[in-house]
Amino acid sequence: MNLNTKEVYALKVTDYSEESTQGIPSQILREISALKELGQLNHPNLVKLIEVIPQLDRIGLMFEYCRGDLGELIGKWRHQSQENGKHPMQPAMIKSYLKQILLAVHTCHC
C-alpha cells in the first residue's frame, strides 16, 4: 500500500539467485519490457505494471491491484450452481467476459 495515497498494489517477487550468476535473467528482462509496452496502451482489460524493484537476488514487480481473479469467480459460480442446481452464468454474462478476454489477447498480439 502506498502510505501517501492509500492505493493498494499487487507485488510479484521472482527469485533468480539460483538460476543466474550474471544478474537478472534475460527472460525476466524480456517479460518486463513486454509488460512496460503493454502498460503504455492503457487497455482496460490488462493489468498495468507500476514499478520494477530490483534487488540482489530477486526482483519485485508492482502491479495495479485487481480484486479477485477469473478463476476465483468461476469457482464461486460453480459452487452456487451446485447449491441451487441452476447455472449462475447467463449467456450475456459469458459473452461479456469472453469479449473482454479476447480483446486483451488481441491487444497483446498486435
Rounded to two decimals, what is the model's pTM? Answer: 0.71
* CATH number, domain containing residue 19: 3.30.200.20
Report the number of distinct structural domains present in the chain: 2
Report how far apart the first and last C-alpha atoms of the chain are (Å, whole number): 33
pLDDT at 18: 58
Residues in the chain: 110
Measured distance CA(50)–CA(26) in Å, rounded: 20
pLDDT at 93: 84
Q: Is 54 within a domain?
A: yes
- 83 or 9, greater pLDDT: 9
Residues 39 and 60 in one domain: yes
Domain that holds residue 46: 9-64
